[in-house]
Amino acid sequence: MSLTRRALLAASLPAALTPALVGRALAAATDPRLAPRAFGNTNAKVVVEEWFSFTCPHCARFELDVFPEIRKKLIDTGRIRYVFCDFPLDRSALVAAQVARSLPLERYEPFMTSLFSNLDRWAYGENVNPVEQLRKMAGLAGMSPAEFDNAVNDTALQNAILAEQQRAETEYKIESTPTFRFNSTMHSQGEMTYADFEKQVVAAGG
């Protein structure tokens, strides 16, 4: 998905980025919610970063159709370390990222899968309120109503996610989701088959 909906995100958010927030906000923060959502061998020869949006249908198809094989053959076997990087394309995706990061790490990936599996229902369903749908789904993931409200209304968390997104745009020239980085090599082709993904891993030394 391209950045055509970014204007909607900017218009709907009151929080403004400041120079102090620009940079590696997630990596430097002490808040565990801002720690990298990384899985796999910490000593793997190849680190794969995926920039995604929770409201991106292309990201959803990749997560549901391709990622399970990546998990089985490349992550669980120790060949790669996989890092999910937030790149919200609209307000709903940003709220979803805030909620997902507020869950315990072991619930992050299952919650992501749940959101992508039900994308048409919570994000694009007719006459639905995405935030209220997220509240229900977060409840099923074990998050209390108070915890949900705290996550959604946390301006510092919101700004940190947006700052990291801005860094990725500036440093890596990301213009669409999903975008991948295999060690130092960017791959912005969008959806990939498992075969194409593994070729990039091999080319990166894995």
Q: Are 98 and 152 in contact (CB under 8 A)?
A: yes
Residue 71 included in any domain: yes
The confidence score (pLDDT) of residue 185 equals 93
Structure tokens belonging to residue 160:
């940190």
Task: List the pLDDT tens digit at each of the 206 positions of the chain.
Answer: 544 444 445 444 444 443 333 344 444 447 889 999 999 999 999 999 999 999 999 999 999 999 999 999 999 999 999 999 999 999 999 999 999 999 999 999 999 999 999 999 999 988 899 999 999 999 999 999 999 999 999 999 999 999 999 999 999 999 889 999 999 999 877 789 999 999 999 999 88
The confidence score (pLDDT) of residue 103 equals 96
Q: Which residue has the tokens 């791959």?
A: 187
Cite the beta strand spans of 88-165 per DSSP E.
none
Residue 67 included in any domain: yes
The confidence score (pLDDT) of residue 1 equals 55
Task: Provide φ and ψ at 81, rounded to 5°.
Answer: -110, 130
Instruction: Show Cβ contacts of residue 36 under 8 Å, excluding neighbours closer than 6 positions.
Output: 26, 27, 83
Residue 127 included in any domain: yes
Residue 51 included in any domain: yes
State the CATH number of the domain containing residue 44: 3.40.30.10
Residue 29 included in any domain: no
Residue 17 included in any domain: no
Residue 21 included in any domain: no
Q: Tell me which residue range forms the domain holding 42.
A: 3-9+37-185
Cite the beta strand spans of the chain per DSSP E.
37-40, 46-52, 80-86, 179-182, 185-187
Domains contained in the chain, number? 1
The confidence score (pLDDT) of residue 3 equals 47
Residue 191 included in any domain: no
Q: Which residue has the tokens 């749908």?
A: 133
Q: Are 80 and 47 in contact (CB under 8 A)?
A: yes
The confidence score (pLDDT) of residue 9 equals 52
